[in-house]
Amino acid sequence: MSILVDKKTRVVIQGFTGREGTFHASQMIAYGTHVVGGVTPGKGGQTHLGMPVFNTVEDAVKDVGADTSIIFVPAQFAADAIVEAALAGIGLIICISEGIPVLDMLKVRNFIRTTASRLIGPNCPGIISPGKCKVGIMPSRIHHQGHVGIISRSGTLTYLAVNQITSQGLGQSTCIGIGGDPIIGTTFVDALQMFKHDRQTKAVVMIGEIGGSLEEQAAEYIGKEYAKPVLAFIAGQTAPPGRRMGHAGAIIAGGKGTAFEKMEILRKNGVCVVENPAEIGPITKKMLA
């Protein structure tokens, strides 16, 4: 099964002809993702990487039946790109762009709620269901099809976790990078809910970090109703308060959102918390045994 993306997913690339869009689109095509075209306003009618270019997402939906979009446009245009995708009826919008102003995201997030679209990110590596479909920027060769679902706020740290799980002889059902910004479209709880109903997923690894309360919400949700084993790592145990640790969302503000608090509440709700990320692989293997 896997969640969100599979062999039937029809992907349109927003910001197709730019440097990032071009590079990652070709990587996705090489992986076997069903890319149906791209959007670059003003370049509609051209062909890029052997695919049609459209002026608008609406055209891409109409002409080639795109149902999923991935956004590579610069941050100052990204909020607009998300709104455009949702208005065009795209069901799954994945925003890779980093650095969107938070007030723009507040509007977008509250707008998206009124539509049928799901937003992943922004500031995220995207999604991959190994062996089926990659809509993201992750290095595909470390992934292997299997039974572990991964949800993460960080890119490279996800790759570390994936690599460990793969090197234990296990694999992943779907890996979702939910993003490192303070306001994001899909939360840990949303992703956990989807994994709950996915038969391919036998265990879930969640990689959180300091700041906000998404991990706390996930802990409470897992405590109430979750039959699948969950392992968690929280990055930023040594982060000083009041400093933004790279990701706009990774900040301990007003004494809230510390790694310690998050680990405590996750443990209390039956989650297996590891303090050393090198243990993610071996312990996941034990959980599945």
Partner 1 sequence: MKIHEYQAKVLFRNYQVPVPNGDMASTAPQALEVAEKVGYPCVIKAQVHAGGRGKAGGIKLARHRSDAEKYIGEVLGMTLITRQTGPQGKLVRKLLIEQGLNISRELYLAIIIDREKELPVIVASAQGGMEIEEVARENPQAIHKQHVHPVTGLSDCHIRNLAFKLGLNKIQRKNFTQLLRNLYKLFIDSDMSLVEINPLIVTAADEVMALDAKINFDDNALFRHPDIAAWRDLDEEEPLEVEASKYELNYIRLDGQIGCMVNGAGLAMATMDIIKYYGGEPANFLDVGGGTSAERVKEAFKILLADQKVRAVLVNIFGGIVRTDLVANGIVLALTGMAVKIPIIIRLVGTNEKEGLRILRDSQLDFIIESELTDAVRRAVELAKGD
Nearest by Cα to 93 from 181, 11, 190, 16: 11
- Between 152 and 201, whose beta carbon lies closer to partner 1? 152
- Between 60 and 112, whose beta carbon lies closer to partner 1? 112
213 binds partner 1 (CB under 8 A): yes
The residue from 24, 34, 48, 247 that is catalytic is 247
107 binds partner 1 (CB under 8 A): yes
- Between 107 and 286, whose beta carbon lies closer to partner 1? 107
Catalytic, 247? Answer: yes
> In angstroms, rounded to a whole number, what is the distance separating the alpha carbons of residues 85 and 67?
10
75 binds partner 1 (CB under 8 A): yes
269 binds partner 1 (CB under 8 A): no
- Between 95 and 239, whose beta carbon lies closer to partner 1? 239
Q: Which amino acid is at 234?
A: I
18 binds partner 1 (CB under 8 A): no
Which residues 230-259 are close enough to bind partner 1 by CB under 8 A? 233, 235-240, 242-250, 254-255, 259
What number of residues does the chain have? 289
Least Å from the CB of residue 95 to partner 1: 14
137 binds partner 1 (CB under 8 A): yes
Terminal C-alpha separation, the chain: 21
How many residues touch partner 1 under the rule CB under 8 A: the total is: 59
**Binds partner 1 (CB under 8 A): choice among 62, 63, 103, 145:** 103
What is the number of alpha carbons within 13 Å of residue 138 lying toward its C-beta? 32
Least Å from the CB of residue 110 to partner 1: 5
- DSSP states of the chain: --SS--TT--EEEETTTSHHHHHHHHHHHHHT--EEEEE-TT-TT-EETTEEEESSHHHHHHHH---EEEE-S-HHHHHHHHHHHHHTT-SEEEE------HHHHHHHHHHHTTSS-EEE-SSS-EEEETTTEEEESS-GGG--EEEEEEEES-HHHHHHHHHHHHHTT--EEEEEE--SSSS-SS-HHHHHHHHHT-TT--EEEEEEESSSSHHHHHHHHHHHS--S-EEEEEE-TTPPTT---SSTT---BTTBS-HHHHHHHHHHTT-EE-SSGGGHHHHHHHHH-
Residues 155-194 vs partner 1: string with x where CB under 8 A?
Answer: xxxxxx--x----------------x-xx-----------
Kindly state the tokens that stand for 271. 């989650």
- Between 115 and 237, whose beta carbon lies closer to partner 1? 237
**Binds partner 1 (CB under 8 A): choice among 210, 231, 271, 273:** 210
268 binds partner 1 (CB under 8 A): no
- Between 159 and 221, whose beta carbon lies closer to partner 1? 159
131 binds partner 1 (CB under 8 A): no
109 binds partner 1 (CB under 8 A): yes
Kindly state the tokens that stand for 23. 């590079």
Binding site for partner 1 (CB under 8 A): 75-76, 99-104, 106-107, 109-110, 137-139, 142, 152-160, 163, 180, 182-183, 207, 209-213, 217, 233, 235-240, 242-250, 254-255, 259, 275-278
What residues are annotated to the active site? 247
